[in-house]
Structure 1
């Protein structure tokens, strides 16, 4: 079975212009980020790639915890993208995922940590990035008081 996703985009000018994307429930203005000498309006490809990687990772991680019957109080994620600029060439180098999971039982702590690393390897977006963008997971697994 093949799942299909569609995106529509309109762009109103040259490099430093803006556009609009629409896909599913997502609609956003897009442009080059101000850090890269663009207008910095709406979102940009770097944030969108980071968003795709982060959402895929956290959904995969949550599903793994659920299938393993690991009860959690909370699961949060902080992710960071690192883009290198050398001689005016922009290269998406690395994504760091820092999940924090608060568990109900101490006995689940090691398995929950192991699943964080497995989630990165199982995530469809991480697989698509493999060999091009390094993805690192730095999990924090705690037990509620």
Structure 2
């Protein structure tokens, strides 16, 4: 059951850029202030979506616990400008967010000095034999300083292997499509 605060009326649907609802101190968490917790078995997460119009319309995704409202739109061609996210981008964003967070955890546990890990994620869309379209694969590009790879490549690779194994959302994505990780020196 979706809690009442997770629903929105049409007048609450924003247009344009992502909106962050105010926190007690008015500041959004940053990488240095956010804290990661182990998920608990049986833990429930909430998201709500509202849509206005037909398939060419627009809507919002609301994440009540995070206080986020994200404008959404239907699928579009990659070269089309966008003022909102589409479902394919949100899927990739979920994988990216979980993977980079999991990677940061293993970098710390294995004492690899890379305090601000970064990734880029590419996803491909293709025809589904059952009809329509589907995401057909994704590549996570782990962006690693060349100097760190020269000094500690084996441990960097180990942290990425552990991240692949333990990232919750990557596991979900892998059930539907191939997901691979590549190291990219920067």
Is the CA contact 1:9–1:22 (under 8 Å) kept in the aligned structure 2? yes
Length-normalised TM-score, structure 1: 0.82
Deviations 1:60-80 (A, max 9, x none): 111101001111264221111
> Is 1:49 matched with 2:91?
yes
Length-normalised TM-score, structure 2: 0.66
What's the RMSD between the two structures over aligned residues? 2.7
Is the CA contact 2:107–2:159 (under 8 Å) kept in the aligned structure 1? yes
Cα distance, 1:39–1:109 mapped onto 2, change above 3 Å:
closer
Cα distance, 1:40–1:32 mapped onto 2, change above 3 Å:
farther
Q: Partner residue of 2:45?
A: 5
Structure 1 regions of 5+ residues with no counterpart?
Answer: none
Structure 2 regions of 5+ residues with no counterpart?
Answer: 1-40
Q: Partner residue of 2:159?
A: 115
The within-5 A match list for 1:2-81 is: 2-23=42-63, 24-35=66-77, 41-72=83-114, 74-81=116-123
Aligned counterparts of 1:93 and 1:104: Cα–Cα separation in 2: 32
1:35 partner SS:
coil
> Larger % of strand: which?
1
Is the CA contact 1:17–1:39 (under 8 Å) kept in the aligned structure 2? no
Q: Partner residue of 1:133?
A: 177
Aligned counterparts of 1:28 and 1:7: Cα–Cα separation in 2: 11
Cα distance, 1:141–1:2 mapped onto 2, change above 3 Å:
farther
Aligned counterparts of 2:178 and 2:161: Cα–Cα separation in 1: 13
Aligned length: 141
